[in-house]
Amino acid sequence: MEFMYSEKVQALQARVTQFMEEFIYPNETLYEEQLAAQKDRFGAIPPIKLELMQRAKEAGLWNLFLPDSTYGAGLTNLEYAPLCEIMGRSALAPEVFNCNAPDTGNMELLERYGTEQQKKQWLEPLLEGTIRSCFSMTEPDVASSDATNVEASIVRDGDEYVINGRKWWSSGAGDPRCTISIVMGKTNPDAPRHEQQSMILVPMDTPGLKIERMLPVFGYDDAPHGHAEITYTNVRVPVSNVIWEEGKGFAIAQGRLGPGRIHHCMRLIGAAERALEEMCKRVEARVAFGKPLAAQGIVQTWIAESRMEIEQARLLTLKAAYMMDTVGNKAAKQEIAMIKAVAPQMALNVIDRAIQAFGAKGVSDDTPLAFLWVQARTLRFADGPDEVHKAQIAKLELRKYATQKASVN
Amino acid sequence: MEFMYSEKVQALQARVTQFMEEFIYPNETLYEEQLAAQKDRFGAIPPIKLELMQRAKEAGLWNLFLPDSTYGAGLTNLEYAPLCEIMGRSALAPEVFNCNAPDTGNMELLERYGTEQQKKQWLEPLLEGTIRSCFSMTEPDVASSDATNVEASIVRDGDEYVINGRKWWSSGAGDPRCTISIVMGKTNPDAPRHEQQSMILVPMDTPGLKIERMLPVFGYDDAPHGHAEITYTNVRVPVSNVIWEEGKGFAIAQGRLGPGRIHHCMRLIGAAERALEEMCKRVEARVAFGKPLAAQGIVQTWIAESRMEIEQARLLTLKAAYMMDTVGNKAAKQEIAMIKAVAPQMALNVIDRAIQAFGAKGVSDDTPLAFLWVQARTLRFADGPDEVHKAQIAKLELRKYATQKASVN
Amino acid sequence: MEFMYSEKVQALQARVTQFMEEFIYPNETLYEEQLAAQKDRFGAIPPIKLELMQRAKEAGLWNLFLPDSTYGAGLTNLEYAPLCEIMGRSALAPEVFNCNAPDTGNMELLERYGTEQQKKQWLEPLLEGTIRSCFSMTEPDVASSDATNVEASIVRDGDEYVINGRKWWSSGAGDPRCTISIVMGKTNPDAPRHEQQSMILVPMDTPGLKIERMLPVFGYDDAPHGHAEITYTNVRVPVSNVIWEEGKGFAIAQGRLGPGRIHHCMRLIGAAERALEEMCKRVEARVAFGKPLAAQGIVQTWIAESRMEIEQARLLTLKAAYMMDTVGNKAAKQEIAMIKAVAPQMALNVIDRAIQAFGAKGVSDDTPLAFLWVQARTLRFADGPDEVHKAQIAKLELRKYATQKASVN
Amino acid sequence: MEFMYSEKVQALQARVTQFMEEFIYPNETLYEEQLAAQKDRFGAIPPIKLELMQRAKEAGLWNLFLPDSTYGAGLTNLEYAPLCEIMGRSALAPEVFNCNAPDTGNMELLERYGTEQQKKQWLEPLLEGTIRSCFSMTEPDVASSDATNVEASIVRDGDEYVINGRKWWSSGAGDPRCTISIVMGKTNPDAPRHEQQSMILVPMDTPGLKIERMLPVFGYDDAPHGHAEITYTNVRVPVSNVIWEEGKGFAIAQGRLGPGRIHHCMRLIGAAERALEEMCKRVEARVAFGKPLAAQGIVQTWIAESRMEIEQARLLTLKAAYMMDTVGNKAAKQEIAMIKAVAPQMALNVIDRAIQAFGAKGVSDDTPLAFLWVQARTLRFADGPDEVHKAQIAKLELRKYATQKASVN
């Protein structure tokens, strides 16, 4: 056992941190200002983001998430984790490094299951950062915590598939660069429960695909990225657009969510670190009732508990990453479920304390806290609600003794 | 002891409830749509609100908050509490009944401390609902949890006062009908600590008063009401605009906050009841993993704990109201501090569980939950952070034994 | 609505409080010493307790729990609640006033369902305090959270019933004055699920009744009261010993538990008040790191949260009592379930904070805290675990909307 | 970074586990029975324990705690941690492996600071397990969370020191084999605050040393080990009995507590694992309301949260151990404080859930849960209360930014 980051990782941490300090933090406000100045918040990307993306690419801090070394940086999960964490400190950062959801998940999916043609057409520009993508799975009418509930239909008609359904929370669909949607639907309602679904590539400009509205998240529109409600009405795409093959939708979803979940957790740890730092600075500078807030016992308790929760969540996340790298996503199932249940709640706790330390300023946009909190809150159900992960953890835990019992009989 | 609402109250509850069902709930969405359709969200009041205000006034459900029976409905705090609770169920409701912050607090303040002239000029149109007001106390540069920190200056110059300072979170200042601001500042930095401050009336169109920006709250602009950052630069008003007299600012603030705090708590209980109702309906209708969410143990735990927390918070709030009515705000100090610390956290717990039961829908604006949550969150620091209230409760509790000790010696 | 205790109650409160101060608190240590000096801790009752019982009887503070005015004091639940609370402040007190579990529950049961003969033989000496009783329901082999699980058999054989089974947690069976056990068992396994059980009176000296051992509770033997494991082997009693009639066991259990539960909650509130008082005195007197513990923010938070939790739990308990008095135990079902889930956890929170404020002293027997904590802990499952109460609360809550739904269709 | 135990550790884990399964678990009840059968619970050691100690010594599973390879097993903290954890699964185990508090701390102290003579006389028989020791630091009259409060006096008089004071919670003093006490007291009240104290060896049979009483912990006497209140009245020992030298008491205490704290945390993790295992087995076997407890959502939540908390606390403890080994106890200060605040609360959470799953059985001694809970509870203040550790963590956290600020100016 060994708790030091490798030298390779330490060097990368230093480079990412330096980039953050030099380019990200100083431009957070500018980005918001450029966005606010746009007539249509979904109409364009504030130029500073495009400029920073170019810089990151030139600095070689690009596509670090992708374990595949042809397309990506070839880092293991354990190596990527501490870098992803640093990016999570700013809502602006992940995309600057081309490491943002849902594009990362979509790129991994294409890299793993896509045909050569699909890779050429969609994966490569995504890796270049010239286009963006969305992921259309969740539906308003069914509980998507249970993926087999998906009801959109994908029906083969000659050389085409015809897609009908209503999706929402297709995040990223608001981006003017978004040109491709990965849609999950049912190709065969009569197949076994986990083989009814398929995933298919639908270009955003396909007739019948309509963005009905952009959904707010606690008042944030998250522009220009955005969370879209989309209707698919007799949308037709060539059969070659199916990913992997018919009936593999559920399997792909499972595969896609593993890395996606751990990336979210890494970023949440970074968000919590940022919040703790902001809180510490605030309470040292702010005076009430004759002494700095930092001298108050309850504030010290907040800081201590935040540090304790962050450290524990980080170690568990790193261990999950290590296991994914060494024994595989399946054997790491309990660990992945654990961090997905642990990290969002931990981040919410820490950020909420920081907000309280800031008072009214903390709920405005004068600090990054309010938006980080909102992002963390959505992750208590996005990619599976806490309750589903906990049920899974319990099932795996109980199995240890059930097996024992069985072997005794 | 007796736990039934009086017949008078029950009759009023029925009337308010019926109004809510007939006019408020069915128009919540329309209000949002009308607002969204405005070119400038702060430019006008969506007509449906004005129409509903008229209706409520005609129905005699108007100014119920004001204990004074000349100007208001003459209800005690205990009588008003269950009505205010019902209004708290919808973000749209309080103003429809002319019972919304900060106007209620400002009206009470004017009723209690205003001159006849001030009442005529400002209180009466406020009671009519024809103008709105804001309250300018909090400053960005100092911790306003400690009211003596206020730094804006109010300097007498002949027959005028000259006001200079920067305020923020002047809620309601965005409303186009807002014509008057009550400003707290220092008239005499050399007076004893609690007599340095004064409150003064400043018409919104006074030269030198400038709205710098509207502050968002977790992404919500709260338009057209809004939360303003305002600078006061050599703002001049006649000396007759001072409220009560010089040096009474802190005393007025204390008096203003008592009823204001309990109103917030009542509304929070209503918000929690709304959330619990929405959650119950949702979990009965929504199916995952083969059974309604309502059949899951963890969901039942959420419902039970919500009901337990709501009941307790309501009883404590009613008791505080009863004490304010019978022994006065000062003797009810510990109870007021308790409900102010209890109710926001209780509401946050309940609403958060409801959001989790709704998943992604719960953080959008398709339910009232996200906005109700945000409002509740701000009340963990608005009108005094939890920590200050708890310190106060502890001080009063410890005093029981300190007195004992003192009397022994 | 009205939050003052009646004059009658205030007068009784004053008398009980005076008795506590004069006779109970000053003798807590003496009681423990007398008990410790006994060769057999279960062999006798420390004389001070018998002496205090005599005093309380003479003072007319006796059998206050019994609503029936022939046998008891004729107080309503609402009137008894604040008195029972005061008794709960000391583990020594309840029996001194003849208001201790399980005897109170057994007396109520006999008063309500017993024959004249049963009352004469068992109820009267219990009311006199000359004998004690136990309640034999829980069994080691089945989950007694579900009362229908009871497996002890009660089989009629001519003019006698023959009882066989193993019971545990028959509290009070250790007392040398304990002469009667109320046993729950199955008379008819083929009857409908809630009519299979009966309750029957079994004198402790009946052949075949054997106390196997006394069970400790977190190390406490709770002598001389004690918690017994008892085997019943071919125990024979006359048929006239059945209570009410065959098949009524479940119904009696439900009736017995209502008042029993609320008494527990009242006492828990008293225990929490005692703990808060001890904590306040301690932290004012104890100095660490240069200032009294009372000056530390975290300690103030403990005090404030304790006061907040106690007040809320008390109000809810009083409301439940009020409802039991006015609309009956059945209509008060949700309230009773709520206080049973709320009060033990509340008391545990408060007592645990007090223990922490005392450090090591708090886990010894130099303060009443450790024992009060242990008693409170057992009440998270005794008379129904929290989880069962919460499920019940949720069921009743959901029913509101289910009915609505049904009426819509 | 690397999350696998080394092969060396894995081999030791297997051996300790096998010993536990073969000798410890099967004899837990026997140990309690032998103890209960003793006339004087403090009069002798139940023979099974002595027998098992012999076995462990023969198996080479002895003194694993001591990093020094001459006297001990030469394991690093990181290597010892997972073994200590396994021992923590049973209250019987630690001493069987000669790895129990306070002897381990005392042995380390002697090994590090003792003279050759002191080592020969006291360390060697302790390492052999033929004698036991106690640690006399805490005093009833002062807050020992602040070690400088210690008031016992140690005054030099010629070739002797004269000791006067009252100590309590001298754990282990009840053991008939206990022959030596390490006493902390003040040698020089005029020295700088952290140099006033000294530690000195006092044989238990020295005239003037009197065990006043054994203190219970939540009803447990913890015999024959015991927690003693001891008075030292004009106790005289030769000057050579001082440890290290005069004025080093505080420094030694700091050094002693580092490893002592981490050992406690390791054992707590084992206790939590044991509780989780017991809970899982119980809920699979126990049926209520028609299904196994394991099928209930709330029980699954308990299991999942327990697993999540255990994993995180273990990783943090291992990291602290790793840091102690690599950068030293001082640089690991924040980590040590964190695990000391995290592990007891984590263990309490897990054990409490297990108790609830067992109901009444869980608070009796029919499972190891009640005693494990009590041990864990004492560790929320023993060796420093949570609050002191959290204040320390916050101080170290805030220092990061204070330094920054300083360097900016």
Name the closest residue on chain D to residue B302, using Cα atoms. Answer: D298
Residue B404 reports pLDDT greater than 60 = no
| Mean pLDDT of all residues in C374-400 | 96
Residue B89 reports pLDDT greater than 80 = yes
Name the closest residue on chain D to residue B297, using Cα atoms. Answer: D297
| Mean pLDDT of all residues in C69-82 | 93
Please name each of the domains of chain A with its CATH number.
7-128 (1.10.540.10), 132-248 (2.40.110.10), 250-408 (1.20.140.10)
Residue B231 reports pLDDT greater than 90 = yes
Query: Which residues of D fall below an 8 Å CB-CB distance to B?
Result: 296-301
pLDDT tens per residue, range B160-181: 999 999 999 999 999 999 999 9
Of A276, A308, A395, the CB nearest to D341: A308
Of D311, D319, D400, the CB nearest to A3: D319
Task: Measure A395 CA to nearest chain C CA, in Å.
Answer: 20
Contact A298 C298 (CB under 8 A): yes
Contact C363 D370 (CB under 8 A): no
Q: What residues have CB less than 8 Å from A258, skipping those under 6 apart?
A: A324, A329, A332, A336
Residue A345 CA to chain centroid, in angstroms? 15
* C101 in Cβ contact with C263 (< 8 Å): yes
Residue A238 reports pLDDT greater than 50 = yes
Contact A299 C297 (CB under 8 A): yes
Contact B286 A143 (CB under 8 A): yes
Q: How high is the pLDDT of residue C407?
A: 45
Residue C365 reports pLDDT greater than 60 = yes
Q: How high is the pLDDT of residue A259?
A: 79
Contact C360 D298 (CB under 8 A): no
Q: Number of CB pairs < 8 Å for C and D?
A: 115
In degrees and rounded to multiples of 5, residue D124 shows phi and psi of -65, -50
Residue B264 reports pLDDT greater than 70 = yes
Give the pLDDT band (50/70/90) at residue D76.
very high
Task: Measure B297 CA to nearest chain D CA, in Å.
Answer: 5
pLDDT tens per residue, range C156-168: 999 999 999 999 9
| Mean pLDDT of all residues in A103-130 | 96
Give the pLDDT band (50/70/90) at residue A408.
very low
pLDDT tens per residue, range A194-218: 999 999 999 999 999 999 999 999 9
pLDDT tens per residue, range D306-352: 999 999 999 999 999 999 999 999 999 999 999 999 999 999 999 99
Q: How far apart are CA C227 and CA B153, in angstroms?
A: 71
Substitution target from C277, C308, C309 for chain B, most B beta carbons within 10 A? C308
Contact D397 A4 (CB under 8 A): no
- B160 three-class SS: strand
The answer for C287, left when phi > 0, alpha when psi is -120 to 50, beta otherwise, is beta
Q: How far apart are CA A389 and CA A342, in angstroms?
A: 10
Contact C301 A298 (CB under 8 A): yes
Contact B364 A215 (CB under 8 A): yes
Q: How high is the pLDDT of residue B149?
A: 86
Nearest to B294 by CA among A377, A383, C397, A147: C397
Chain A environment of C296 (Cβ under 8 Å): 297
| Mean pLDDT of all residues in C141-151 | 84
Q: How high is the pLDDT of residue C84?
A: 98
At what angle are helices B249-285 and B77-87 packed, to 10 degrees?
A: 50
Give the pLDDT band (50/70/90) at residue D404.
low
Residue C404 reports pLDDT greater than 70 = no
Q: How far apart are CA B93 and CA B77, in angstroms?
A: 19
Nearest to B396 by CA among B321, B344, B341, B317: B341
pLDDT tens per residue, range A118-132: 999 999 999 999 999
Nearest to A336 by CA among A164, A81, A126: A81
Chain B environment of D296 (Cβ under 8 Å): 297
- Cα separations in angstroms, B336 against A309, B252, B320, B324, B342: 33, 17, 6, 9, 10
Of B1, B276, B304, the CB nearest to C390: B304
* D134 in Cβ contact with D173 (< 8 Å): yes
Of A1, A334, A395, the CB nearest to D322: A1
Of A145, A298, A360, the CB nearest to B288: A145
pTM of the model: 0.97
* B162 in Cβ contact with B222 (< 8 Å): no
Task: Measure B216 CA to nearest chain A CA, in Å.
Answer: 5
Contact B380 A220 (CB under 8 A): no
Q: How high is the pLDDT of residue A148?
A: 82
pLDDT tens per residue, range B299-310: 999 999 999 999
Residue that the structure tokens 């828990």 belong to = C268
Q: How far apart are CA D105 and CA C395, in angstroms?
A: 54
Q: How far apart are CA D100 and CA D169, in angstroms?
A: 16
Name the closest residue on chain A to residue D386, using Cα atoms. Answer: A301
Residue B22 reports pLDDT greater than 80 = yes
Chain A environment of B386 (Cβ under 8 Å): 356
Give the pLDDT band (50/70/90) at residue C406.
very low
| Mean pLDDT of all residues in A80-103 | 97
Contacting subunits of A (3+ beta carbon pairs below 8 A): B, C, D
Q: How high is the pLDDT of residue C149?
A: 86
Burial C90-115 (b: 16+ CB within 10 A, else e): bbbbbbbbbbbbbbbbbbbbbbebbe
Chain C environment of A299 (Cβ under 8 Å): 297
Q: How high is the pLDDT of residue B409?
A: 36
Give the pLDDT band (50/70/90) at residue D259.
confident
Residue A64 reports pLDDT greater than 70 = yes
Contact C299 A299 (CB under 8 A): no
Three-state SS sequence of D105-129: HHHHHHHHHCCHHHHHHHHHHHHHC
What are C267's two structure tokens? 């006492």
Task: Measure A301 CA to nearest chain D CA, in Å.
Answer: 6
Q: How far apart are CA C351 and CA C372, in angstroms?
A: 8
Contact D318 A1 (CB under 8 A): yes
Q: How high is the pLDDT of residue B145?
A: 74
Q: How high is the pLDDT of residue D407?
A: 45
Q: How high is the pLDDT of residue D390?
A: 98
Residue that the structure tokens 């707590």 belong to = D268
Chain A environment of D1 (Cβ under 8 Å): 2-6, 9, 78, 318, 322
Query: Which residues of D fall below an 8 Å CB-CB distance to C?
Result: 138, 140, 143-146, 149, 168-169, 215-221, 286-289, 293, 296, 298, 355-356, 359-361, 363-366, 370-371, 373-374, 377-378, 380-382, 385-387
Task: Measure C298 CA to nearest chain A CA, in Å.
Answer: 5
Residue B115 reports pLDDT greater than 60 = yes
Share of chain D above pLDDT 90, in %: 91
Give the strand pairing for B178-186 and B197-203.
antiparallel
Substitution target from B8, B396, B397 for chain C, most C beta carbons within 10 A? B397
Give the pLDDT band (50/70/90) at residue C394.
very high
